Chains A and B, each alone.
Chain A
């Protein structure tokens, strides 16, 4: 169901921070934990727990990083938040900083969003004035990605911030213990931070009114593809796919891809299922394909993307994506691949899922697996 919670303009910058500053940091963390807020970047890690780990990690200097590297194909909801709800983001980051004991934040901005930099910085500055008025010492800067998709992965993002080649790190240690410049660091998505002032102002219970048992609250979705009303929507977590299709006026829908390029690709038989952490993963994007589309073309497009965007570090992702793309290319040129070879590719995809170093390689074979499973006739 569509709502206006996060996107509501009924909000006064600074109220939440003012309230937070009268609390103990651990009380703030408890509040976030209580809300059940899970990371809005896609992985859904409990935000309060992340903050708690960073707060308890030893280290004098700690960092709050906002992942604004909105690079998942089909996502554009953070763009709206960055430009139209900047004050919520800044306030959310300041609250996070207070909660974990940090005085420094960085917004890591997608390279393709360079065009908004000037306006964003102006808006940040005015929000930061409020932070200052409230008497909280916090430094916030915007840093830019250079264009690599992988830098949206939090440890690759940190490497990139440190001026290194953007590649995922080994984990553990996790960023909450050893992140940016080896200091305890939280990395949260733009949307995650934006919910924070809301939760503080209205209390965790209000936030929990929507959503499901394991997926609390509303969430923004970037909906695009074959529909009459594409755009950014705020929906209850747990909304069934069919409701979403109705909302955006999609017709003759053949397939829906939920959670970005590496998410799930489902057909009609699954349209009644919910979009939630316990259902179809609620990443930022929903892409709709109607019956005129051939899913092999979709798959080819996605695999080309992953072949280009794999960092090249680990074997399963670097080589695996390439091998899947090669097979799709062969199919595309009219060649028939026997069952045995297709099963080899499934075996490969499953190895990529469990043996790749980071989320990219662990999920980049998903489109192949889903499309092979649900739209085999197109291959």
Chain B
């Protein structure tokens, strides 16, 4: 709970220790600030207070009832006790009740060793479960979508419901039915794939147990790797390198690009390439598209062309737009996402250059995202004549493959990506953070129209950085080269949103005609891809800040930091694509969107 008046202080005590607090603070907030541990389960720092699991109950002097630390605001003179027999007994009983209805074996669960219920059972020394465990499944596992739901493992903490509502504004899942029949489900008990779920996977990242997981593609990928007739290419998304180490118990904020590349080779991929290459390519295409749109609208007076233009790299955002803002699909850049550009080129350009039969190429991508699985399966994503991206692994699935391969990633030497479609610039790396696509696009577009670098120290456009939900900036365009003189003196207005509820705010303004932006970047997930639904669990604002730090460090560490200076990108235009928005680009790198219903 936020407080506006930081001047007023309250005095409270926790376990007889006198502490200061602000009005509006919860017991839990004060405890955490003072390093007093209170166990929680339904509480998540990204979400509004919940108060449903009751694991965090504490004794408050003078109150008969125990109070939940996560949802109870402190008041002056409050005496809180977090460690009494009454409290421990209640917590242990609550954990026992949850465990007793939680169906499934830890050993066969994807969240084994990374499960909050398991951890709580350990913390409270649960020795036995005195109530009957369910003898059989009550629910079928829903496993046809990128987000897999196993309600038998659900403990009804509702974090998934809350993240889907508060952060994503989608409300695909809700509590249904009452009492012991309660379950988390979609309306009319439909499948996730039949409702407006955008497959962002934010629910997976908040789930304390294995009730929500990604659809696993590791078996298929292993099979492809072990098939000698197949040339298996792996591409790694920008946001992977800054987060993969977390899967191996390394603190957030460590980037291990070189080790990651070595690990992928050890797993057995024939070619280890980088989505950063197509991220740079996206900037060339999307930057050109933006400038073309501006010219059409501002100079030619074209009524068909829509501005502001929206970025299109985030497949969760695309699906969201298709469901909720179908009237604005014309504003979406037609550029495919870097993943799909990569897939289309791998089975055309790369096949040609490497003299491979595209039928024998298998493209695998490692993504911070579950919606990427959905995107790869979209029926139109076959412009190469084949399925452009065969398999999408989340970061977590890659972590499992690295472990299964017996590779100790942190001990590996660093190696470089293979060539041809592997070189990326700093501009590509920052795609992984909210504002990154905007910054990369500005570094290039500004230079195209002015002939000068963006006027920011070290190219760092700090105004578009940071994890704020909505960011806005304006850049005055002056001293333009002849070809773009028509924009002389204009102010380029941009906006950035991360998290779909924030996207909604911008979209509602655009729809109402109240927005005068030219270009809007939207990332479905909080913080951008670094907070994606395929990233390591747990997540929090602090973790995402550290990941962002690693991404911007990687950008600074690279020699080339502007997409248009990417030599491999220059080469592909020279030898294959021709020019941005050219005929071949149009065929391979651009796409169209589908209006989807709400129901």
Residues of A within 8 A of B (CB): 148, 150, 165, 167, 170, 172, 306-316, 318-323, 326, 341, 344, 347-348, 351, 354-357, 362
Contact = CB atoms under 8 A, between A and B. Distances in A.
Contacts of A148: 178
B86 A354 contact: yes
Given A170-B68, A322-B179, 19 more contacts: A170-B49, A310-B180, A311-B178, A312-B156, A312-B182, A313-B52, A314-B51, A314-B54, A315-B52, A315-B54, A315-B156, A318-B182, A321-B179, A323-B97, A344-B130, A348-B97, A351-B90, A354-B65, A357-B68
Given A323-B97, A351-B90, A357 B179 contact: no
Nearest to A341: B130
B303 interface: no
28 contacts: A148-B178, A170-B71, A170-B72, A308-B178, A309-B179, A311-B179, A312-B179, A312-B182, A314-B54, A315-B97, A315-B98, A315-B155, A315-B156, A318-B179, A318-B180, A319-B97, A319-B100, A320-B97, A321-B180, A348-B93, A351-B89, A354-B65, A355-B57, A355-B66, A356-B54, A357-B51, A357-B52, A357-B68
Given A170-B51, A355-B90, A308 B179 contact: yes
Nearest to B182: A312
Interface of B is mostly: loop
B73 interface: yes
B185 interface: no
B438 to A, nearest CB: 36
B599 interface: no
Contacts of B54: 314-316, 355-357
A292 to B, nearest CB: 31
Contacts of A362: 65
Contact of B175 (A165, A170, A322): A165
A323 B131 CA distance: 7
Contacts of A170: 49, 51, 68, 71-72
A318 B158 CA distance: 14
B93 A312 contact: no
A169 to B, nearest CB: 9
Contacts of A315: 52-55, 94, 97-98, 155-156
A198 to B, nearest CB: 32
B296 interface: no
Nearest to A352: B93
Contacts of B68: 170, 357
A356 B178 CA distance: 16
Nearest to A344: B130
B64 A354 contact: yes
Given A313-B52, A355-B66, A319 B90 contact: no
Q: Which of A150, A314, A316, A319 has the most CB of B within 10 A?
A: A319
A347 B92 CA distance: 11
Interface in B59-104: 64-66, 68, 71-73, 86, 89-90, 93-94, 97-98, 100-101
B66 A354 contact: yes
Nearest to A354: B66
Contacts of A341: 130
